């Protein structure tokens, strides 16, 4: 067996790992977006423009779609601490153009491999939900700028 062990040589990576979708645009995000407001079930933050408040039915449709695509491993250690926020940009046709981790989570993303895997799963859930099921009577062309950016908070608290 010793010979066998010696014979296996772990070489350096054949090519450097490229940054994942999560890390791709993190600098851009950090520079472009101010700190997030406190999270909530579904709301629009107050800004200079009037808040965009979709109906409960509209929110349920989006939540149902993303939840079905969020494959969360509840058996990992400290699974209940794997909370992450993903900021996405949606095109007018409801396709997801961009999905990135909120900057406040990036230090943990870089240092905690379990969190990194969990955050990547959240990004996958978003990408698999494209185009998003946005009710056309509420997510209209006129209000596009108000729903162009959506922040999803993935918090597995109801899975335990």
Partner 1 sequence: MKATKRLLRGIAGVAGAVLLALGVAAPLPARAELRIDITRGVVEPLPIAITSFAGAAGREAQIGRDMSNVISADLERSGLFRPLNPQGFLQTPEQLRSGEPRYQDWRAIGAQALVAGSATMQGDGRLKVDFRLWDVAAGQHMAGLSYTATPDSWRRIAHIVADAVYKRLTGEDGYFDTRIVYIAESGPANARLKRLAIMDQDGENHSFLTDGKNLVLTPRFSPTAQEITYMSFVNKRPRVYLFNIDSGRQEVLGDFPGMTFAPRFSPDGNKVIMSMALNGNTDIFTLDLRTRRQTQLTDSPGIDTAPSYSPDGSQIVFESDRGGSQQLYVMGADGSGVKRLTFGQGRYATPVWSPRGDLIAFTRQQGSEFAVGVIRPDGTGERILTKAFHVEGPTWAPNGRVLAYFKETPTGGGRSARLYTIDVTGVNERRVVTPIDASDPAWSPLIP
Residues in region 81-110 near partner 1 by CB under 8 A = 99
Q: Does 73 bind partner 1 (CB under 8 A)?
A: yes
Q: How far is the CB of 125 from partner 1 (least distance, A)?
A: 7
Q: Does 30 bind partner 1 (CB under 8 A)?
A: no
Q: Does 74 bind partner 1 (CB under 8 A)?
A: yes
Q: Does 141 bind partner 1 (CB under 8 A)?
A: no
Q: Which of 26, 101, 105, 123 binds partner 1 (CB under 8 A)?
A: 123
CA dihedral over 124, 128, 131, 135, signed as positive or negative? negative
User: What's the angle, vertex CA 46, arms to CA 121 and CA 154, rounded to 5?
Assistant: 15
Q: Does 52 bind partner 1 (CB under 8 A)?
A: yes
Between 30 and 117, whose beta carbon lies closer to partner 1?
A: 117
Pairing between strand 84-90 and 96-101? antiparallel
From 151, 160, 67, 65, select the one nearest 105 (Cα to Cα): 151
Cα–Cα distance, 120 to 122 (Å, whole number)? 5
CA dihedral over 7, 8, 12, 14, signed as positive or negative? positive
Q: Which of 25, 29, 43, 94 binds partner 1 (CB under 8 A)?
A: 43
Q: Does 149 bind partner 1 (CB under 8 A)?
A: yes
């Amino acid at each position: 067996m010793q010979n066998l062990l010696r014979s296996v040589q772990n070489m350096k990576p054949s090519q450097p790992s490229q940054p994942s979708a999560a890390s791709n645009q993190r600098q851009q995000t950090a520079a472009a977006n101010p700190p997030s407001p406190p999270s909530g079930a579904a709301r629009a933050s107050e800004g200079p423009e009037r808040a965009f408040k979709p109906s409960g039915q509209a929110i349920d449709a989006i939540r149902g779609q993303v939840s079905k695509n969020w494959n969360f491993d509840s058996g990992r250690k400290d699974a209940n601490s794997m909370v992450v926020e993903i900021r996405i940009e949606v095109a007018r046709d409801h396709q997801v153009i961009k999905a990135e981790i909120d900057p406040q989570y990036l230090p943990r993303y870089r240092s905690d491999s379990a969190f990194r895997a969990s955050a990547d799963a959240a990004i996958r859930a978003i990408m698999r939900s494209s185009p998003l099921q946005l009710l056309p009577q509420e997510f209209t062309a006129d209000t596009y700028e108000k729903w162009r950016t959506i922040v999803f908070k993935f918090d597995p608290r109801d899975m335990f």
